[in-house]
Structure 1
Amino acid sequence: MKAFLLIIPLCLLMACSKKDDLGNVEDIPGLGGDTWAASPLDKWLHDSLTVPFNIAVKYKWDQFEFELNKTLVPPKEEKIIPVMSAIQKVWMDTYIAEAGALFFKRYCPKYFILSGSASWNENGTITLGTAEGGRKVVLYLVNDFLTKSMEGYKPSDSANVKQMFHVIEHEFGHILHQTVMYPVEFKRICAGFYTGNWNNISDMNARRDGFVTPYAMSAFDEDFVEMVSTMLVEGKQGFDDIVNSIPEGTSINGVTKAEAQSRLRQKEAMVVSYFLTVWHINFYSLQTRTRKEINQLLY
């Protein structure tokens, strides 16, 4: 028995000393084989976003950054600078102007992942953006981004561009309320009207129940950030138009026009108050700046 035990370590030493050819590990993606020379695009991203704000942008394709069961396409490199430059003007610069660079650097997400196409879900809805832990944002539909300065732009394309800004403002709204929660009274305005069936509800029917978008009906938190993003992207007049568009009569849930409009105005007031009391941001001034930058890009 003792002799047997002594033989085992000897065999192990012999096995470990054998040099098997495992190939060059640096050829394995993720272990050093996926490096590339920095391009002018990489330099622009580094100088414009990484150096001043510690924000990294990943546009080189990596399927493991996304859901593996989704069919997606990489972003076109010629879209990267226009997309990130527009985001800088519409979202970053406006918040910095209102709240200061320190605020923005402290709370902004640090990692952007870009996809060229949309992410379709089994229920027929489209995921246009996600945020993880307040630090990582995934943006889809980058290849559809067109502004008035780009070849092929048509006025009808503005909806796609506005949707991207809506996603950014929506996800940043989540970061803010996850840091400091909005007043609990907000949840009482439409209590009992939230539903997982929001994707089968039209914009107008959502408004008739006092929600700014159908997705706002999915949960309290989504309602709050949909208010923030819609108010910023559509501007004061655009939001007023949404409120005023509610028709006479009652919704299928028995909500009158006056009640629906009151719900939206209560939510508006709470958003404005939250930004002022918690973050010392004049929301209406931020709204004006944001809409102005969007108009300059699109019209």
Structure 2
Amino acid sequence: MTPFSLRIFVADGDPDGLRIVEKSNWIGKALVFPRALLPQVKARPELAQTGVYLLLGPRPDGEGEMLYVGEGDPILPRLQDHQSKKDFWTRAIGFTTATAGQLNKAHVQFLEARLIGLARAAKRMPLDNANQPAEPSLSEADRADMEVFLSHMLGVLPVLGVHAFEQAPAAPVSAAGGQSAASPALLYCTGKGVEATGYESTQGFVVRAGSQAVSAVTASFSQMLGAAELRADLLKNGVLVAEGAALRFTQDYVFSAPSTASDIVLGGCTNGRVQWKDAQGRTLKALQEAELG
């Protein structure tokens, strides 16, 4: 990864208000603002430009957030339309360029299609978009330029707290394969006839594809609303599929915490720092404490 710097300008002096984000060596910029400020923000020249935008807000059926990805030529009329027609969103992020005219309709349609595809593949946040739009026809040069623009956007979004487009980071190499000292330890969670493997990352705790989870959960698990809804989402999205007497992870999946991961694997309330262990049987808790000296 290449280090970079961000410049975040708090335009109205309120940290929760309008923020304008620019990244080193990038022609783009982002506007981040709560829905309540749209009447004031609509006069910003950036929203009169062509761009792509995200709407984020709480899910109507439970905990967590959902996402809508859109494009506008310009952005403002689309946001005004969503103000009256979409209830869920509480904040918006608009992406355009520092100098007007550097993005056209086909560019932002491409960015919209790529973002929706990435979000559907990652399956980390429910999408309000009903369909997967087709990518427009772009010249080879324009496509390359938009892939670079997209990579900058994907670098900015996690800093803004949006992880919907991130794939799980690369897995550590096993000890037999020459794991380096800097690699995270490969950990195991076993019990109730299932076994899962995973590891810590900067994004969260990753459970690896091929890991198992129980098919039957405890009675108390159903009372854990966040975990129960997450499990239902994983089943609905095909991240978890039935295989024999258990469930199987079809892809690497990033959980917010080790305990969330072990809750899903074992189907109950667990302490992930104790349930996840390395090949020598040392718990994640013990490994973390040893690292601290």
- TM class by shorter chain equals under 0.3
More strand by share: 2
What is the TM-score with the length of structure 2 in the denominator? 0.24
More helix by share: 1
Larger radius of gyration: 1
TM-score by length of 1: 0.24
- Say which structure, 1 or 2, has more relative contact order (CA 8 Å, 6+ apart): 1
